[in-house]
Structure 1
Amino acid sequence: MVCSKCEKKLAKNAPSAPDPWKAGASNTMAGGGRKINENKMLSKKDRYSPYGAAGKKCATCKSMLNKDGMFCHTCAYTKGVCEMCGVQIQDTKNYKQSNK
């Protein structure tokens, strides 16, 4: 659950920059080229990390988050708050909820 203010943040896309075909390409022979029989997993310096370098965690259950925010989806739904900013969205006083 995300509030309307944070929903606008999710809708933003990164601006596309012009990408010339040969400028900065790693598979061309002009800029040193690529090595033959190279293991890409060992040679790559900045590996992709699905959870980010910071390793953000949920404020309640301390599970890893895969996007910017304060709460995981389960905790946010149980409390009735926004995942990203923590603003109260729903009144869960009369709900019968559990984490089991």
Structure 2
Amino acid sequence: MVCGKCEKKLTKVAPPEKWKDGGDDKRKVNQNKLLNKDKRFTPYGKSAKCKICKQQVHSGDGMYCHNCAYSKGVCAMCGVQILDTKSYKQSAK
């Protein structure tokens, strides 16, 4: 659950690669990205954690995981109250 303001952030498209345009990038054509130390992907590296349950958040700039955001009725990215969940019948699990 994300609010309308944060939904605009999710619709951005990734930029094109510079090396195809002949830019000044260090990466060479046909170079393996896993072996390059500059841009190596680290899945457990610098990732955000949920404020409530301390699990890893799916989006890097989020505050709450999807389960906690839905159960509390808040935006997962900024924490703004979106809907009132007092009359909802939710399980404690």
Which TM-score bucket, shorter chain as reference? 0.7 to 0.9
Q: Give the aligned CA root-mean-square deviation in angstroms.
A: 2.8
Mapped to 2, the partners of 1:87 and 1:95 lie a distance apart of 19
Aligned to 2:48: 56
SS in structure 1 at match of 2:76:
coil
Mapped to 2, the partners of 1:10 and 1:99 lie a distance apart of 30
Aligned residues: 88
Deviations 1:62-97 (A, max 9, x none): 001131210000000000000000011110011111
Q: Which runs of 4+ in 1 moved over 3 A?
A: none
Using structure 1 for the length normalisation, give the TM-score: 0.70
Q: Percent identity?
A: 57
- Structure 1 residue ranges without an equivalent (≥5): 28-33, 35-39
Shift of the 16–26 alpha-carbon distance from structure 1 to 2, 3 Å rule, reads closer
Greater CA deviation, 53-62 or 10-19? 10-19
Mapped to 1, the partners of 2:42 and 2:17 lie a distance apart of 23
- Structure 2 residue ranges without an equivalent (≥5): none
Q: What is the correspondence of 1:1-100 to structure 2 with a 5 Å cutoff?
A: 1-16=1-16, 19-20=20-21, 24-27=27-30, 43-46=35-38, 47-51=40-44, 53-67=45-59, 68-100=61-93
